[in-house]
């Protein structure tokens, strides 16, 4: 049985599966006018303005969104009209800010007293922005984190950056995972289906070597492309070899372990992919995503944030996702990374209730059902985990 493309965080008992790009696009449904999941071409940026109106009828919220064009198109064309129709008197002025500039702009605008009412952030911004008191704490009346997202998220994001009582300042929209991308067209040309891709490393390496082609010293078709992703693959292999605890590269919060026995085994495995199995080229220096996107790789190891690039930069490729191979052939708990997220940053107390109303909409099943597919994440809300689009 195949692993659904939208199920990016799969319990060990769930069998692998796959979904073609065409099937995926059909499932996007009401947002089919959008071509991609999370493309990062930055749109034109607009400066933050003063939020208008202290009364409920006249509130206009300034919302900063980072530069993921197609997610922003979905939000602007579908989600915001939906939100405004449900919340009469609240209007959203959506403005785009490049992610590389977003944290500094938030710090600057906060210091100037004209921060936006809502802002998306990257998870790496959370520490700085909470310590600088840019983010407003999320009241329990807005979301019961433990009930709606589970104990792990509730514990991890309940923080006290300034020494006061712990609060929630930013929560994950969902989690990323690593995956094995496949080129459906090449598979068909070679006489295979996604089901034929082996699930265990021993068989996969034989299969991938068989579909790899070299012309002298030039790699013309990679069976398993991973150049430039060695660090991610290393972490994946660590989890497979050492389990959730010993496989974690962080022994403690202050100590990292790259050169332990598991680490050496993992790096040796990666070098064997180059030197023994010759599945990718270390000498050509062609990043694996580019090789795959140009149609010269049968499979690719990458994290699922790459989904958006496939449908914008490489839209002619018919692609799908599977779980990466494991040594046992069975799925395991592996790499995961949070997608944080949306926040409330308003300095206008008259806008605070409206800002949290919009925040809760952005963290609702209605919005996340669209967003998660485009971003390549498993949604954080427990209520969505059993939905057909997000379960095996």
239 in a structural domain: yes
Q: Are residues 144 and 224 part of one domain? A: no
Q: Are residues 124 and 270 part of one domain? A: no
What digits encode the pLDDT tens for the residues 141-188? 999 999 999 999 999 999 998 778 999 999 999 999 899 999 999 999
Q: Are residues 365 and 312 part of one domain? A: no
According to DSSP, the β-strands at 59-66 and 90-97 are parallel
Q: Are residues 126 and 85 part of one domain? A: yes
Domain of 107 in residue numbering reads as 33-175+339-382
Most distant pair of Cα atoms in the chain: their distance: 72
According to DSSP, the β-strands at 255-256 and 250-252 are antiparallel
Residues 6+ apart with CB under 8 A from 243: none
Q: Give the domain CATH number at 126.
A: 3.40.190.10
Q: Which residues pair with 340 in a beta bridge?
A: 172
Spacing of C-alpha 245 from chain mean position: 23
Q: Are residues 245 and 145 part of one domain? A: no
The CB density around residue 16, as the number of other CB atoms within 10 Å, is: 22
**Residue 162: which of 127, 117, 212, 186 has the closest Cα?**
127
The CB density around residue 315, as the number of other CB atoms within 10 Å, is: 13
Q: Is the peptide bond before 341 cis (omega within 30 degrees of 0)?
A: yes
Q: Are residues 237 and 146 part of one domain? A: no
Cβ(305)–Cβ(218) below 8 Å: no
Q: Are residues 304 and 219 part of one domain? A: yes
**Residue 354: which of 79, 10, 116, 19 has the closest Cα?**
116
Q: Are residues 188 and 167 part of one domain? A: no
Cα separation of 300 and 298, whole Å? 7
- For position 48, what pLDDT does the model report? 41
Cα separation of 31 and 73, whole Å? 10
Residues of the chain with confidence (pLDDT) below 70: 1-57, 392
227 in a structural domain: yes
- For position 25, what pLDDT does the model report? 37
What digits encode the pLDDT tens for the residues 322-331? 999 999 999 8
8 in a structural domain: no
279 in a structural domain: yes
Which residue has 């073609």 as its token pair?
20
Cβ(345)–Cβ(134) below 8 Å: yes
Q: Are residues 288 and 220 part of one domain? A: yes
Residues 6+ apart with CB under 8 A from 46: 95, 96
Backbone angles phi, psi at 332, to 5 degrees: -135, 165
Cβ(143)–Cβ(363) below 8 Å: yes
According to DSSP, the β-strands at 319-322 and 19-20 are antiparallel
- For position 57, what pLDDT does the model report? 62
Q: Are residues 118 and 80 part of one domain? A: yes
Distances from the Cα of 239 to the Cαs of 207, 236, 246, in angstroms? 23, 5, 8
7 in a structural domain: no
The count of structural domains within the chain is 2
Q: Are residues 166 and 46 part of one domain? A: yes
| pTM score above 0.85 | no
Measure the N-to-C terminal CA separation of the chain; round to a whole number of Å.
9
Q: Are residues 210 and 310 part of one domain? A: yes
CA dihedral 43→49→54→60, nearest 10 degrees, is -20
Domain boundary among 296, 316, 335: 335
- For position 332, what pLDDT does the model report? 86
132 in a structural domain: yes
Residues 6+ apart with CB under 8 A from 234: 263, 266, 267, 270
- For position 68, what pLDDT does the model report? 82
Which residue has 């991610």 as its token pair?
232
């Amino acid at each position: 049985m195949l692993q659904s493309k939208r199920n990016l965080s799969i319990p060990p008992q769930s069998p692998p599966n796959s979904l073609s790009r065409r099937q995926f696009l059909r499932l996007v449904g009401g947002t089919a006018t959008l071509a991609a999941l999370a493309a990062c071409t930055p749109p034109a940026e607009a400066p933050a303005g003063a939020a208008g109106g202290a009364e409920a009828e006249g509130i206009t919220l300034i919302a900063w969104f980072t530069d993921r064009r197609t997610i922003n198109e979905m939000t602007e064309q579908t989600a915001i009209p939906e939100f405004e129709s449900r919340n009469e008197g609240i209007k959203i002025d959506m403005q785009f800010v490049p992610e590389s500039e977003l944290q500094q702009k938030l710090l600057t605008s906060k210091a100037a007293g004209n921060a936006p009412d809502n802002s998306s952030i990257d998870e790496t911004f959370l520490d700085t922005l909470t310590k600088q008191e840019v983010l407003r704490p999320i009241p329990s009346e807005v979301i019961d984190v433990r009930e709606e997202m589970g104990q792990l998220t509730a514990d991890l994001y309940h923080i006290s950056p300034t020494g006061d009582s712990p609060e929630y300042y930013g929560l994950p929209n969902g989690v990323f995972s690593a995956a094995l991308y496949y080129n459906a067209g090449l598979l068909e040309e070679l006489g295979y289906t996604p089901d034929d891709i082996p699930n265990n490393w021993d068989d996969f390496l034989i299969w991938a070597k068989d579909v790899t082609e070299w012309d002298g010293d030039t790699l013309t078709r990679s069976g398993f492309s991973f150049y430039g992703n060695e660090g991610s693959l290393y972490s994946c292999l660590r989890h497979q070899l050492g389990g959730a605890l010993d496989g974690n590269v962080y022994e403690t919060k202050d100590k990292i372990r790259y050169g332990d026995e598991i680490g050496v085994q993992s790096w040796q495995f990666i070098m064997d992919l180059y030197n023994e199995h010759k599945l990718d080229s270390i000498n050509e220096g062609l990043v694996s995503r580019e090789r795959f996107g140009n149609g010269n790789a049968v499979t690719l190891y990458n994290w699922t944030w790459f989904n958006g690039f496939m449908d914008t930069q490489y839209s002619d490729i018919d692609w799908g996702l599977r779980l990466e191979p494991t040594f046992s052939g069975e799925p395991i708990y592996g790499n995961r990374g949070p997608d944080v997220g949306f926040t409330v940053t308003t300095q206008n107390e008259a806008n605070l209730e409206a800002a949290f109303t919009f925040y809760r909409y952005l963290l609702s099943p209605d919005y996340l059902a669209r967003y998660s597919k485009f971003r390549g994440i498993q949604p954080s809300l427990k209520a969505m985990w059993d939905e057909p689009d997000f379960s095996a």
